[in-house]
């Protein structure tokens, strides 16, 4: 639900930049838990392929490919197992996020008025997510960026990356992915805190986040870590995956649904 909130990129229309593909593989760990070996379990793994201006983000557990197309200004979600797809354009996303604001504000007012135990913690979290403010520090020697608030902390390990255009594309994609994740998965975290983090990463100019730790303790029992592995080029297997997904999109068997219909079907199947 929160996972794609960790994956990222930026939109450039320069065809020379688009021609240079790269990949990012990601593992999400639950730092609140330990497996039989005493290690935090992997919650999810994903593969993001950046190719010809698009991003193909595949999460095996969900059996979905999310295709980000900045030229067409839209996301396409492809579920090959169910032979279903849906499209969500940027303008529709902006509208959904804007109409969320008065609903959240009304919900906060209701919680304050009820004065029930636990409501204050929820109100504080919602207000912060809508208008996040962090204390920021960066250690240039270790490459660690820290973003702190009373109840919300990001710890990011970064390193230099020679292809700055790739860093920019990656971080801009992170903005859009945070928005999409919130819309696709009801109850997930708001995108605003992650977008603020991305703005701080952009200021570092040419540094990639190799790990992003999200710590909401002590107010909430959520402590996640995303580890990213970058590669500057795509291999033959990556190109084969992209070709297969594009072929699926053009299949006559594929049924395209409105976003809300698609969401209802997929969420119902995961209960």
Query: What is the pTM (predicted TM-score) of this model?
Result: 0.87
Question: DSSP secondary structure string, 30-62?
Answer: ETT---TTSSPPEEEEEEEEEETTEEEEEETTT
Strands 207-215 and 223-231 turn out to be antiparallel
Q: Tell me the C-alpha distance between 110 and 108, whole Å.
A: 5
Looking at the DSSP bridge assignments, the partners of residue 46 are 26, 59
Q: Tell me the C-alpha distance between 109 and 120, whole Å.
A: 11
Q: Which of 73, 93, 76, 65 is nearest to 11 (CA)?
A: 73
- The pLDDT, as a whole number, for residue 266 is 77
**Who contacts 107 (Cβ-Cβ below 8 Å, separation ≥6)?**
126
Cα–Cα separations (whole angstroms), residue 202 to 21, 131, 162, 167, 198: 20, 19, 14, 8, 6
- The pLDDT, as a whole number, for residue 186 is 76
Encoded tokens for 186: 């009801």
Helix then strand count (H, E) for the chain reads 7, 12
Q: Tell me the C-alpha distance between 74 and 9, whole Å.
A: 14
- The pLDDT, as a whole number, for residue 2 is 43
Q: Tens place of pLDDT for every residue, the chain, 271 residues?
A: 444 444 333 333 333 334 479 999 999 999 999 888 889 999 999 999 999 999 999 987 777 999 999 999 999 999 988 899 999 999 999 999 999 999 999 999 999 999 888 899 999 999 999 999 999 999 999 999 999 999 899 999 999 999 999 999 999 999 999 999 999 887 889 999 999 999 999 999 899 999 999 999 888 889 999 999 999 999 999 999 999 999 999 998 999 999 999 888 877 766 6
Strands 64-69 and 74-79 turn out to be antiparallel
């Amino acid at each position: 639900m929160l996972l794609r909130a960790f994956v990222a990129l930026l939109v450039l229309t320069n065809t020379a930049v688009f021609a240079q593909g790269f990949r990012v593989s990601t593992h999400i760990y639950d730092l609140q838990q330990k497996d039989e070996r005493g290690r935090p379990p992997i919650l999810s793994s994903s593969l993001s392929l950046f190719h010809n201006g698009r991003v193909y983000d595949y999460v095996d557990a969900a059996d979905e490919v999310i295709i980000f197309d900045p030229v067409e200004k839209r996301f396409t979600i492809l579920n090959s197992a169910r032979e279903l797809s849906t499209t969500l354009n940027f303008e529709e996303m902006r509208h959904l996020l804007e109409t969320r604001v008065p609903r959240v504000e009304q919900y906060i007012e209701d919680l304050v008025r009820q004065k029930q135990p636990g409501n204050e913690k929820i109100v504080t979290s919602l207000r912060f997510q809508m208008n996040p403010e962090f204390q920021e520090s960066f250690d240039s020697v270790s490459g660690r960026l820290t973003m702190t608030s009373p109840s919300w902390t990001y710890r990011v390990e970064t390193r230099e990356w020679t292809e700055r255009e790739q860093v920019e594309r990656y971080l801009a994609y992170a903005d859009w992915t945070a928005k999409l994740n919130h819309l696709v998965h009801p109850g997930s975290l708001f995108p605003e805190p992650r977008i603020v983090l991305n703005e701080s990463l952009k200021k570092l100019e040419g540094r990639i986040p190799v790990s992003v730790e999200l710590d909401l303790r002590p107010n909430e029992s959520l402590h996640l870590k995303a580890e990213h592995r970058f590669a500057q080029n795509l291999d033959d297997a990556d190109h084969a995956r992209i070709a297969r997904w594009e072929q699926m999109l053009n299949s006559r068997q594929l049924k395209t649904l409105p976003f809300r219909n698609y969401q209802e079907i997929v969420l119902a199947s995961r209960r």
